């Protein structure tokens, strides 16, 4: 009997589907057999398990069916064998807390920073002008004194005795001059005798003045108002002419002498404000002004000396302190700026972390003028962009972040009363 073509096609398709299903069943059976063989091999060394299996096999067909069916563990191994392992998701990292600031426009000055040593406007070493023993001390180091105040006394017994001797001799010579003058008027004394007597009187008067000065020098006085910076002698010490007794300095005002390149000094004017910062106290600054600009250039260094006078109370600054003088030489008005603490350096380049939604991008920028708080941004950012100022240590390109409230920024620095903005 002839079979129609359509019927033949349907039968072929049915046979193909049956063959495909049979192939899947064979594959599953082989896999189950392989896994069952592994489990059986693992229990071969246990005699009790083998005995139980032998006892159950002839009597309990249900046990046989159960043994033939794959257990849940075997099914999980089967799924693993067939590539059915369940994928586990990677845990999401917590956002990094940061503090942000907006890019804005400000006037940014350019500074020349020069080093200097604080000096007193006037300073002097007070020397002994006579030889003798220190008898009294009226001041100590650190004492403020006025001009002419007695500082120290040297034993003046010897110069005082010489002074008295000169007085007595002068009186005698003056009486002798009167007698010779009377005789000279009567023609009984020659002109030579009269002139010699006058000369002796004048010499003795000069010696008397020298004696007075020596006695005055025994009392040492302050040459100007200031502060005693050093005491170099003690009571009872014998001094000679030229011994340094005390040192004094006028601390109002204090001076800092800065040497600037010739090109930059042209942008500096007398009376211009200057900021003075001590290396030992970087958190403190002092106001100053340009007091003098040297009229000549040092041919060896090509620099010009600029003298800065500290204005007002110098506080804890002392002569001899090493400081840095910041002298403004130019200003960029309305420049694009970011806080200096936002800047990061790597491989000779400067970059910041810019906040975009809940993540940050690492952005390379070019900077211009800087001052103690702000840095000019030449390229890389726009007005209104937000950059990370605190917390850069844990950031990478694309890191998720959460912004700290201003209160939290202080709490991170040790203020436990501040809270997080939710």
Strand 96-102 and strand 401-403: pairing?
parallel
Residues 131 and 226 in one domain: yes
CATH assignment at residue 239: 2.40.50.100
Residue, of 103 and 184, whose pLDDT is higher: 103
Residues 152 and 219 in one domain: yes
For residue 19, whether the previous peptide bond is cis, meaning omega lies within 30 degrees of 0, is no
What is the predicted pLDDT for the residue at 44? Answer: 42
Residue, of 247 and 75, whose pLDDT is higher: 247
What is the predicted pLDDT for the residue at 68? Answer: 44
What is the predicted pLDDT for the residue at 281? Answer: 77
- Tell whether 369 is covered by a domain: no
- Tell whether 173 is covered by a domain: yes
What is the predicted pLDDT for the residue at 43? Answer: 43
- Tell whether 153 is covered by a domain: yes
Burial of 152 from C-beta contacts in 10 A (0-12 / 13-18 / 19+)? buried
pLDDT tens for each residue of 300-331: 999 999 999 987 666 678 888 899 999 988 88
- Tell whether 29 is covered by a domain: yes
Return d(Cα 381, Cα 90) in angstroms, integer. 34
364 pLDDT band, cuts 50/70/90, is: very high
Does the pLDDT value for residue 78 go beyond 60?
Answer: no
- Tell whether 34 is covered by a domain: yes
- Tell whether 243 is covered by a domain: yes
Point out which residues pair with 99 in neighbouring strands. Answer: 390
Other CB atoms within 10 A of residue 265 CB:
21
Q: Which of the listed residues 81, 100, 134 is the one where a domain comes to its end? A: 81
The percent of residues in the chain predicted with pLDDT above 90, rounded, is 42
DSSP state of 167: H
What is the predicted pLDDT for the residue at 21? Answer: 62
| H or E segment and range at residue 155 | none
Q: Which of the listed residues 217, 248, 279 is the one where a domain comes to its end? A: 248
Residues 133 and 48 in one domain: no
Q: Which two tokens stand for residue 39?
A: 């489990």
293 pLDDT band, cuts 50/70/90, is: very high
The percent of residues in the chain predicted with pLDDT above 70, rounded, is 73
Residues 146 and 233 in one domain: yes
Residues 136 and 193 in one domain: yes
Indicate the number of domains in the chain.
2
Spatial CB neighbours of 2, under 8 Å, sequence gap ≥ 6: none
Q: Which of the listed residues 248, 269, 293 is the one where a domain comes to its end? A: 248
Residues 147 and 241 in one domain: yes
Residues 163 and 218 in one domain: yes
93 pLDDT band, cuts 50/70/90, is: confident
Residues 128 and 75 in one domain: no
Residues 135 and 60 in one domain: no
Q: Which domain holds residue 18?
A: 14-81
Residues 136 and 195 in one domain: yes
Cα 270 versus chain centre, distance: 29
Across the range 403-422, mean pLDDT stands at 48
- Tell whether 177 is covered by a domain: yes
Mean pLDDT of the chain: 80
Residues 140 and 224 in one domain: yes
Q: Which of 134-148, 265-279, 392-406 has the lowest mean pLDDT?
A: 392-406
Given the structure tokens 């000779």, which residue do they identify?
Answer: 348
- Tell whether 241 is covered by a domain: yes
């Amino acid at each position: 009997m002839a079979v129609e073509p359509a019927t033949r096609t349907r039968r072929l398709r049915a046979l193909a589907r049956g063959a495909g299903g049979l192939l899947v069943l064979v594959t599953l059976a082989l896999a189950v057999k392989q896994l069952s063989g592994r489990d059986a091999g693992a229990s071969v060394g246990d005699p009790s398990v083998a005995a139980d299996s032998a006892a159950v096999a002839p009597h309990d067909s249900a046990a046989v069916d159960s043994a033939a069916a794959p257990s849940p563990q075997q099914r999980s191994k089967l799924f693993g064998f067939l590539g059915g392992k369940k994928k586990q998701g990677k845990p999401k990292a917590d956002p990094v807390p940061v503090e942000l600031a907006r890019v804005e426009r400000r006037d940014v000055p350019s500074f020349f920073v020069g080093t200097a040593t604080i000096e007193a406007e006037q300073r002097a070493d007070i020397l002994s002008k006579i030889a003798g023993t220190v008898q009294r001390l009226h001041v100590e180091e650190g004492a403020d004194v006025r001009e002419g105040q007695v500082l120290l006394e040297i034993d003046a017994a010897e110069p005082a005795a010489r002074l008295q001797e000169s007085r007595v001799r002068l009186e005698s010579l003056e009486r002798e001059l009167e007698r010779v003058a009377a005789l000279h008027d009567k023609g009984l004394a020659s002109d030579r005798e009269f002139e010699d007597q006058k000369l002796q009187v004048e010499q003795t008067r000069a010696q008397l003045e020298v004696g007075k000065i020596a006695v005055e020098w025994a009392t040492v006085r302050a040459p100007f108002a200031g502060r005693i910076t050093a005491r170099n002698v003690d009571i009872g010490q014998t001094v000679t002419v030229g011994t340094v007794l005390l040192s004094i300095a006028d601390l109002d005002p204090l001076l800092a002498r800065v040497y600037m390149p010739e090109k930059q000094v042209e942008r500096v004017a007398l009376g211009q404000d200057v900021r003075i910062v001590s290396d030992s106290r970087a958190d403190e600054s002092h106001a100053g002004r340009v007091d003098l600009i040297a009229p000549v250039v040092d041919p060896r260094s090509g620099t010009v000396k600029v003298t800065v006078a500290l204005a007002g109370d110098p506080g804890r600054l002392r002569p001899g302190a090493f400081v840095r003088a910041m002298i403004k030489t130019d200003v960029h008005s309305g420049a694009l700026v970011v806080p200096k603490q936002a800047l990061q350096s790597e491989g000779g380049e400067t970059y910041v972390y810019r906040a975009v939604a809940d993540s940050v991008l690492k952005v390379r920028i070019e900077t211009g003028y800087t001052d103690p708080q702000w840095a000019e941004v030449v390229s890389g950012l726009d007005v209104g962009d937000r950059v990370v100022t605190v917390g850069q240590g844990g950031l990478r390109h694309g890191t998720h972040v959460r912004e700290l409230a201003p209160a939290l920024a202080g709490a991170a620095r040790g203020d436990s009363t501040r809270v997080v903005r939710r």
